[in-house]
Structure 1
């Protein structure tokens, strides 16, 4: 999973300032320059209105400011997008654009249309108290962890932002209505993490001694305000919260179309995912049968029927899960997988790895937990010296021993290798480093979550197909289980929001169909209630990459070069997958001629 750049549909605009970009492309057409100028105007204005978006993308000219979250300001921001969309349709003649700029036009147009529709349809500042945490804590955290400006500058900007957090919390109190309970509960846990951040972690990141100086004084004030806000969430918002979290079929269908931008309907995605789930289950049973006798010597293999094959696979996976670390060692265990994976990528010429390596593996901050076990927080595209964070969340301290053990069994030593492939090498981290070098300004900053998640899932099988793990059947079974999770994500996403799937039915799907442990299943159900459509991006994106790879490889035969294919696929930005076939083939044709 990636944060912030996972989709261009997020309400907090993911965009970059044009201040550091040349005004014109001397090799482009006049209409191309007109499109880029309009985009720069839009972004420059956006950054004045939404400073946190600027920070996220590496434009540091607004790091000492925080967004105005009042209803009037948010409506003005939405109007800016409406006006920009009208200008785009009126001022830019599509037929006069070069082919690359026609793609940029489509990306920009869809971004505006989707953010306008989302802003008019959903109301997260009223219905999702989690959003305020981004402004209260993440806005400061990013300055101290990702900005390449001098530490003292980042510290000074952090102080300025901290002094504006009370305004954010006051807006939250006035704005939050009757949100879904599941979102309130996550907001409570994240706010507890925010209190802890301002008590301790802030000082480590800023390089200041705890309890001394102006930073300590301002942090103490925020601890008090956040504690009061936490009480507000617990005593006022939680009691009035609802169980109304489904968005319904009509909204899901339209939102999914914007989220995927892949030319597939919701019904088509569901039908294909259900077919693929059956295929993957069958393949898993083949590998489980190969190692049954290793775990159960002398015990008869279960009957060769659907129920028996499922039982066999589940029991083998449970035994593989026995080999796991502890809550304290989870992050270190993930770090230990990196060197072997990177060495393999280089030795087998999977693709060229980014240099220098700027990916840090860290324990997920408390105030960011509650949505997933791991994510990649990518380096911002406008700050080339910024770093990425591959964050992993150990089981929360308040979990029961049984529930914590369930999560650790899910993320056993074999699964951690697959997770690191997905999140970092050659998954999200590598892909987004390539994306940050994309020559298209628009594609540099407007990104598709379907592309990002699809690439990460594609790499899991690809790495093992190329020989990573030396043919370890246990590792292959874990990879298939991880992929089945992506497939079932799409089924869960649809049935939770389009239908009336209950928690019990969801648990049955995740645990008995997808072989997930209880801890993982509970977390995924919570995540599916808190979001919609994002869970479908993994399967749809992976299918796009996998089918394109098969098609190109068939066309090229013995001339096919895996590294060249991968680098072609990653060099055009994190763009909608509907453009992949055209752009990859065009780039491969150019590199062949050279």
Structure 2
């Protein structure tokens, strides 16, 4: 449940594996081996333009349409071109002395430096382009062009027409790249490529038939469409054979091990600590939160039960949570209840003077569009830096399509108390508020390449901050449910690190999530699958939250009676979606 955005992992795969695209052929596109010396602001602008030339698919997802119509083949040449780009940009960046830069420029410097190093790491060290077949799927870029109404339909269809030309060569290169894959990622690739026919469908051909394309263009479209179908089906057959062979002969482990995990953590999270240190913090926090829940359960038990409390504290906590979860909204008013709560959150933030909310940029609560459903029940769709005047939508999926049993289970999970915490996280003053501030950042670098741990961490931080400031009137039931919600964040870190570094088994993982974090079995099984298919990202929520909260407490102590929470929040958010460790440094320097 988070904002809808393209993750750094996807970004890197677009650049390193499958996303280097241009309108002309790749041999016609020279890669700059030198970058002219300029001011840092000019360098930043030139860097973005050069990156979009290198990877128009990345630009496409960012709302910038550079060369939508070209799909580059993910071969050695495209990876060499990316590495040449990295080398040239690193050389240009190295000419700037960090001490000579302004505070905002210094953050941009660090973000660019990290991004370039990450791109090289993905190609030369991590090498998921060899063992992760799910990296290869053409559907996403085509869906973005077809479904997003950024240009007249005829123009978008012509981009699709041009882009389809290299689909057969794309999948041939993908199969040549794949070496010693994991079974889990191969099965995912098979499932996702089968889903490509939702994009390459009869509906698309009908759109073309009814469009303003010339008859010659329509005929070429059908020819390339048919070739694309053959290529996708061929790749599906190839993947099916791979799955069968891997099941029979054994496959590479999906676990990446401690060395790669620490390296990827450093690039993706950019925290002021190692992955191991964060893991150890999470273990301590899990024990602390469970102790707090035990105290609350002791207090609340007589209010809800006439029987004796079980001696096992975790059993007692689960029973109380189950009892409280029965209090929830009716399924047919779920979206309306979310819509109703947003003004209440706005009023609380304003009354408590927690930070300034811009009334000119209201949040629009809507039912999740059909094509976006199936992933998160709630998410934020925020305008990017190229479309700042657009609406910010809080997407909430109605429960119409669920069975009675599924809807009841969902509503118990997002009960009276947790639904409020969810709205704090997603909307006010969580993701929506942070993204409004981020889009006001004076540089595109922060908005485009912001730190996911800071973005997710801020939303998690606001949940506790709001309760500390009196939201929910310090009701013990609210705090108990908050701790349940917070345990999920804490255990995400323990789970991800334990699986990839310490060899945690599926049964051990399910026991952690169900017995220690009080999750339902379906939710726990889904999280196990997610952890086998991704690495590090699950730690971003806790990493960002822990760093922000710890910094606030340290900053409060250092400033004593001069500390003002609103000022702290607005100063913190003024640096855009930057890694917390850099915001911390700059705010501390500013306070001296």
The TM-score bracket by the shorter chain reads 0.7 to 0.9
Question: Size of the alignment, in residue pairs?
Answer: 560
- The CA distance in 2 between the partners of 1:225 and 1:390, in whole Å, is 39
User: Which residue among 306, 309, 316 is the counterpart of 1:301?
Assistant: 309
User: Which residue among 122, 125, 135 is the counterpart of 2:126?
Assistant: 122
In the alignment, which residue of structure 1 is the partner of 2:498? 495
1:80 is displaced (CA, Å) by 1.1
Aligned 8 A contact 2:367 2:398 in 1: no
User: Which residue among 574, 579, 584 is the counterpart of 1:581?
Assistant: 584
> Is 1:266 the counterpart of 2:275 in the alignment?
yes
Aligned 8 A contact 2:282 2:494 in 1: yes
- CA spacing shift, 1:400–1:144, aligned 2, 3 Å: closer
- Provide the TM-score with structure 1 as the length reference: 0.81
1:453 is displaced (CA, Å) by 1.4
User: Which residue among 320, 339, 342 is the counterpart of 1:338?
Assistant: 342
- CA spacing shift, 1:282–1:210, aligned 2, 3 Å: farther
- CA spacing shift, 1:277–1:196, aligned 2, 3 Å: same
1:513 is displaced (CA, Å) by 0.5
> Is 1:551 the counterpart of 2:554 in the alignment?
yes
CA shift digits 1:41-69 (9 cap, x unpaired): 33322212211111222322334444443
Gaps of 5+ in 1: 15-30, 590-594
In the alignment, which residue of structure 2 is the partner of 1:11? 12
Secondary structure of the corresponding residue to residue 453 of structure 2: helix
Aligned 8 A contact 1:2 1:378 in 2: yes
CA shift digits 1:26-85 (9 cap, x unpaired): xxxxx9953333333333222122111112223223344444433321231122112321
1:114-513 equivalences under 5 Å are: 114-133=118-137, 135-141=138-144, 144-145=147-148, 157=159, 161=163, 168-169=170-171, 171-196=173-198, 199=201, 212-213=210-211, 224=229, 228=233, 231-232=236-237, 235-241=240-246, 242=251, 244-296=253-305, 298-303=306-311, 308-323=312-327, 334-335=338-339, 337-354=341-358, 355-357=360-362, 361-363=366-368, 375-388=379-392, 390=394, 409-513=412-516
Deviating more after overlay: 326-335 vs 35-44: 326-335
- The CA distance in 1 between the partners of 2:377 and 2:403, in whole Å, is 17
Deviating more after overlay: 110-119 vs 183-192: 183-192
- The CA distance in 1 between the partners of 2:435 and 2:410, in whole Å, is 28
CA shift digits 1:534-586 (9 cap, x unpaired): 22222121111112222333344454433322121111111111122233356
1:38-187 equivalences under 5 Å are: 38-89=43-94, 91-133=95-137, 135-141=138-144, 144-145=147-148, 157=159, 161=163, 168-169=170-171, 171-187=173-189
- The CA distance in 2 between the partners of 1:504 and 1:403, in whole Å, is 24
Gaps of 5+ in 2: 16-35
1:526-541 equivalences under 5 Å are: 526-541=529-544
1:335 is displaced (CA, Å) by 4.7
- The CA distance in 1 between the partners of 2:520 and 2:139, in whole Å, is 34
Greater RCO, 1 or 2 (C-alpha within 8 Å, sep 6+): 1
Aligned 8 A contact 1:144 1:154 in 2: no
In the alignment, which residue of structure 2 is the partner of 1:24? none
- The CA distance in 2 between the partners of 1:429 and 1:237, in whole Å, is 43
Deviating more after overlay: 338-347 vs 2-11: 2-11
Deviating more after overlay: 493-502 vs 473-482: 473-482
- The CA distance in 1 between the partners of 2:379 and 2:234, in whole Å, is 27
CA shift digits 1:200-238 (9 cap, x unpaired): 9979xxxx9798557998698599558726843762343
Aligned 8 A contact 2:86 2:116 in 1: yes
Aligned 8 A contact 2:189 2:239 in 1: no
- CA spacing shift, 1:47–1:528, aligned 2, 3 Å: same
Aligned 8 A contact 1:188 1:233 in 2: no
1:522 is displaced (CA, Å) by 0.9
1:533 is displaced (CA, Å) by 1.4
Aligned 8 A contact 1:350 1:563 in 2: yes
- The CA distance in 2 between the partners of 1:459 and 1:359, in whole Å, is 20
- The CA distance in 2 between the partners of 1:320 and 1:178, in whole Å, is 49
1:501 is displaced (CA, Å) by 0.4
- CA spacing shift, 1:94–1:480, aligned 2, 3 Å: same
- CA spacing shift, 1:234–1:444, aligned 2, 3 Å: closer
1:358 is displaced (CA, Å) by 5.6
CA shift digits 1:458-482 (9 cap, x unpaired): 0111122223334443332222111
- The CA distance in 2 between the partners of 1:323 and 1:277, in whole Å, is 26
- The CA distance in 2 between the partners of 1:157 and 1:300, in whole Å, is 68
CA shift digits 1:145-196 (9 cap, x unpaired): 4x65567655665665566656545544554445323333444444455433
- The CA distance in 2 between the partners of 1:225 and 1:326, in whole Å, is 47
